[in-house]
Amino acid sequence: MKTKIELEQQIISITAKIHNEFPELSKHIIEIPTTNSMENEINIKNLEDYYQSLEEILRKYANTHKRE
């Protein structure tokens, strides 16, 4: 299982990639989800889900909008 810091770094990385390579997608990126719970596992699960959603958006968009 990845740590909260590792997931946050991955999210920053993929967000930067989206902004640099497909800036038109930037408007579809929501802020990192938060929760009222202080439990670390819930936060990690939210971060994992958010990262997976960013990966999916990027993958689907990149497959249909190839850069030349």
Kindly report the backbone phi and psi dihedral angles of residue 37, in degrees, each rounded to the nearest multiple of 5, phi listed first.
-75, 145
Q: What is the pLDDT of residue 38?
A: 58
The label of the residue with tokens 């990385």 reads: 13
Model confidence pLDDT, tens digit, residues 33-51: 555 555 666 688 889 999 9
Position 49, amino acid? D
Query: What's the mean pLDDT in 2-8?
Result: 89
H or E element that contains 20: helix 4-21
Q: Give residues with Cβ within 8 angstroms of 54, minimum separation 6.
A: 11, 14, 15, 18, 29
Which carries the bigger pLDDT value, residue 5 or residue 34? 5
Identify the DSSP state of 42: H
